Each structure stands twice: as C-alpha cells, then as structure tokens.
Amino acid sequence: MVFNIQKYSIHDGPGIRTTVFLKGCPLCCQWCHNPESQSAKPEVMFVQSRCVVCGECRRVCAFARALPGEGPLPPRVEGCNLCGECGEACPTGARQILGQRMTVNEVLEQIAADSLFYDESAGGVTISGGEPLSQLAFLRGLLQACRSRGIRTAVDTCGFACTDALLDVARRTDLILFDLKLMDDARHRAFTGVSNEPILANLKALDLIHKNYWIRVPLIPGINDDTANLEATARFVASLYGVVQVCVLPYHAIGANKFRRLGLSAPLDGLKPPSAEQVRAAEEVFKSFGLRVGVGG
Ligand code: SF4
Ligand code: SF4
C-alpha cells in the first residue's frame, strides 16, 4: 500500500534518491509530517486551494445525496467506500485518493528508471512511510529486488517493530535511518501513542549487527527541544557504536495542513517551526557528546 513515490529526493539519505512512502504506522506522532501515512488504508485528501467548486465530486458520489449543501464534498463523507470516483471526476486534483496497492515489480520499474542518478550521486532508494516494517513481506521483496539490480537502499524506521524483523531488514539494506523522538517514556506515550522502550531496545540490538545507520531527531518546539531531552538522547546515542551521524529535523507546519486536508484536526495547530538559534542549540548539544551532526537528511 503505497501513497507516494517521490523522485529526486535529497532529504532521505545520501545523494539523489527515490523515496517510496508506504502507508500504515504503529505511531501517531502529533507533529507527523505525513499524517496520510498513519492509516494503513487508502484515504481521501481534499486540497481546498486547488478546488474550482465545479461540484463534479458531489455529482458522482453515491453517498452525497444525504449531504446538505453544494460545491465540493467534505474530505470525510459518511458511508464512503473509497470507490475513488470523486478523485477520478475531479478536474484539478483537488480531491485525491491516497494509497494504492502496488507490486514489487511495479515499484521497481519506477525506481529503476532513475538508476543513472543514483550511480552519479552515490544515491539510491529510501523506503519510508508510515512505517515500512509494517509491510514486511513487501519491504523484503523490494530490498531484494533493488539489491539484485545493484541499487543501494535505505530504510527509514520509527523502530517500533518486532526485533527479528528489524534485524532481518537491516541485513538486507545498506543504510538504516532510525528515528528517536523522546527519551521520557511517559511523554513518548503522550505524544506518539506508544512506549519508547521497544524502540530503544531495538536500537541497541541494531547497533550490535549494523555499522551504518543514522539517527534522525525531529526537533519539535516545546515538546522535545528541552536541554534535558536532547542531552538524554545524545547520551544514549553516544553509547552506541554504529551511528554514522545524527540528523536534526526541524519541525515545519506542512503536517498540520495535511491533517486538515484529511478532514482531521491538527494536534499541533499553530505551532511554529524552531528558530535558527534553537536548531543551532540542538546541534551543539549533540556535538558536545562527540557526535557528528547535521540538519536535515
Ligand atoms: S471515494 Fe467514492 S464513496 Fe468516497 S467520497 Fe469519493 S465518490 Fe464518494
Ligand atoms: S471535483 Fe474537484 S474541483 Fe470540483 S468541486 Fe470537487 S474537489 Fe473541487
């Protein structure tokens, strides 16, 4: 279940990459940059700024008769069976169905078209989400198919997964991008919906077998950018062996807009991105523990 294949990506690992986004995640982070990835099922997204109010979506929807008013359908229509007709009828792409079942070969075909760019830039393919490990058979198949074509791979994971599955996937990929969000378990539960204990245990297990992974820390003002959390994160990371670098990922508000486009309320509505100073301060904390650190990536 794929919701996007993004070409020429330069933010999900080294070089020029194609990032394959899979749907479904065991976490529900309040700052999620891709809230359309959280549900494992297809979803309707409505982008108001692209809507020309032609009413075509309403005309074709079997469930629209029960709805009052005119103009575009709301993102969430009671009874919606995700037939996709509204998306097909929409002339501007304002209404889209996100999430499509694809085979490994269908994805590989799109990936392989850009092999030249990967070769020239030491790039490759990143499989992200959502949580790629939640579609384990597909993930393994895609990693194997890329390897057989000589395409380097990275897997971006939240780390909340069965340990055996994570280690198996780690052996099949060239680079792991491992997200760390909050070190305090109660706060982690409050802001992501799950405990961080299995995540930290998985990171320690990964560290024993893999010597090429990056730690990615989203920087969310007022939630995880306090010195205590950053120092606890840096201390933990500095105790590992295989970390190549820490990537600080400053929060930005695109995720809040996407929540609204899905017809959901954005949990962090109105939150501003961190200032350049706040980002620099976070970098300094990681550097002070002897870690190589960058912003983005
Ligand atoms: S996906 Fe089908 S049922 Fe759902 S809103 Fe669109 S047309 Fe209606
Ligand atoms: S079909 Fe598309 S452009 Fe027309 S009203 Fe619906 S969402 Fe807007």
pLDDT digit string (tens) for 111-164? 999 999 999 999 999 999 999 999 999 999 999 999 999 999 999 999 999 999
Q: How far is the CA of 133 from the centre of ligand 1 (A)?
A: 29
Q: How far is the CA of 80 from the centre of ligand 2 (A)?
A: 16
CA 97-100-104 angle, 5° bins: 160
Q: Which atom of ligand 2 approaches the CA of 73 most closely?
A: 6
Ligand lying nearest the CA atom of residue 75: 1
Is the CATH number of domain 43-98 3.30.70? yes
Report whether residue 83 contacts ligand 1, using a CB cutoff of 6 Å: yes
- Average pLDDT over every residue of 77-102: 95
41 dihedral zone (left: phi>0; alpha: psi -120 to 50; beta):
beta
CA distances from 275 to 106, 219, 288 (A): 41, 11, 20
* Token couple for 247: 């990537």
- The pTM (predicted TM-score) of the whole model is 0.92
Determine the pLDDT at residue 164.
97
Determine the pLDDT at residue 280.
97
Which residue's alpha carbon is nearest to atom 2 within ligand 1? 83
**pLDDT at residue 97 tops 90:** yes
Instruction: Tell me where in the chain the CATH 3.30.70 domain(s) lie.
Output: 43-98
Rg (CA), the chain: 20
Residues in the chain: 297
CA torsion angle 63 69 75 76 (round to 10): -50
- Average pLDDT over every residue of 39-65: 94
2-40+100-295 architecture in CATH?
Alpha-Beta Barrel (3.20)
DSSP 3-state of 54: coil
Instruction: Tell me where in the chain the CATH 3.20.20.70 domain(s) lie.
Output: 2-40+100-295
Which residue's alpha carbon is nearest to atom 1 within ligand 1? 82
Q: How far is the CA of 91 from the centre of ligand 1 (A)?
A: 15
